[in-house]
Amino acid sequence: MAIARLIACFVLYSSIRHIPSSLGVILRTTDKIVWANEFEPIELTCLIESISTNNPRIEWKKIKNGVPSYVYFQNRIAGDLEHRAQLREPANILIFNTSRSDTAEYRCEVAAIDDQRDFDEILISLAVRVKPVVPRCSVPVAVTVGTTSELRCLENEGFPAPQYRWFHNNEELPQDPKSSPKFVNSSYTINPDTGGLKFRRVRKEDAGEYYCQAKNDAGHAQCPAQMMEVYDVDILGIFLKSCAALVVFICVTAWICLAYKHGCFASKDHTENNYKLPAQDDGVDYGDADEGHFRHKSSFII
């Protein structure tokens, strides 16, 4: 029994040992999909499982957008990785300081002329994570109670695309306001993918300082806090309406004055009136300055 198992083991062992070398060169990698953080080192592994040739030819190609280029050729680091990488035993490539432009596919190719199977290659995809930069945030300065309001946050550098979080007076807004007793009465929704924070009906309690944070696996960044005021009444609306009313009042007054003057001079002298009218529109008709209603008109225009 024990002898039979021993023989079985020996047969298995020798088959594992012998089949590869009879097939020739075989490559293997520890990771076919590799994530690295920008500005950190990363090693792409190209392990030689079996080979008989003493001096195999090793090459690495970078394939970006379907276009291949050499990064290791004729025993030298070349192209995009020149001075930024080195080859490590057996055929690994070590990038000292990855950059976002290193995101690509890399192919390790080994040619072993003395082997029966004299070529193998392995494809590794490298993705370089990029830390988000400070996002651009837009927070309305003043809103009215009961109206809708939207705060926006956008960051374009981070890779993978960051997720957004919003903070109100330095406290994170929960994704769902109903989940927190503090925000249970707030009507906001947050879209963590687009960075939008929307209030359906702004409340007095929603006033305060807001900032947004963009975060991915490489890191996070946030914009400076900005104040959002909430008013009970539409102050801007009232101001605009007052302005409009004032303009209407001025126009009507001017029109009445003009009509009155027109009537006045028409009864006295036709030619004098026609001659003077354009000058009066500029409010510099000093000839009539002693007439009370004209002084009134001029002061309005000035």
For ligand NAG, the closer CB: 182 or 201: 182
Residue (of 160, 142, 129) closest to 37 by Cα position = 129
Rounded distance between C-alpha atoms, residue 131 and residue 134, angstroms: 10
Residue number, 91 or 104, with CB nearest to ligand NAG:
104
Handedness of CA 179, 184, 189, 193 (dihedral sign): negative
**Contact call for residues 212 and 166 (beta carbons, < 8 A):** yes
Please, which residue, 169 or 185, has the CB nearer to ligand NAG?
Answer: 185
Residue 185 touches ligand NAG, criterion: CB under 6 A:
yes
CA-closest candidate to residue 285, choices 272, 294, 296: 294
99 or 116: CB nearest ligand NAG: 99
Q: Name residues contacting ligand NAG, limited to 257-296 (CB under 6 A).
A: none
- The number of beta carbons lying within 10 Å of the beta carbon of residue 253 is 14
Closest to 72 measured CA to CA, from 60, 90, 55, 56: 60
CA atoms within 13 A on the CB side of 268: 9
By CB under 6 A, residue 148 contacts ligand NAG: no
Task: Annotate each residue in 92-131 with x if it binds ligand NAG (CB under 6 A) or - if it does not, as one string.
Answer: -----x-x--------------------------------
For ligand NAG, the binding residues in 11-70 under the rule CB under 6 A are: 39
Instruction: Work out how close the CB of 205 gets to ligand NAG at its nearest, in angstroms, rounded to a whole number.
Output: 6
């009444």: which residue's tokens?
A: 233
CB 146 within 8 A of CB 202: yes
Structural contact between residues 108 and 46, judged by C-beta atoms closer than 8 angstroms: yes
Q: Residue 220 CB, nearest distance to ligand NAG (Å)?
A: 19
Compute the least distance from the CB of residue 41 to ligand NAG, in Å: 8
Stretch that binds ligand NAG, among 122-130, 178-186, 258-266, 269-277 (CB under 6 A): 178-186
Nearer to ligand NAG, 116 or 185 (CB): 185
- C-alpha distances out from residue 184 to 77, 187, 199, 205, 207, Å: 59, 8, 13, 11, 15
Give the interface segment with ligand NAG, choosing from 23-31, 169-177, 180-188, 253-261 (CB under 6 A): 180-188
Nearer to ligand NAG, 98 or 216 (CB): 98
The residue (of 95 and 122) whose beta carbon lies closer to ligand NAG is: 95
Per the CB < 8 A criterion, the answer to whether 243 and 282 are in contact is: no
CB of 71 to ligand NAG, least distance (A): 17
Which residues are near ligand NAG by CB under 6 A?
A: 39, 97, 99, 182, 184-185
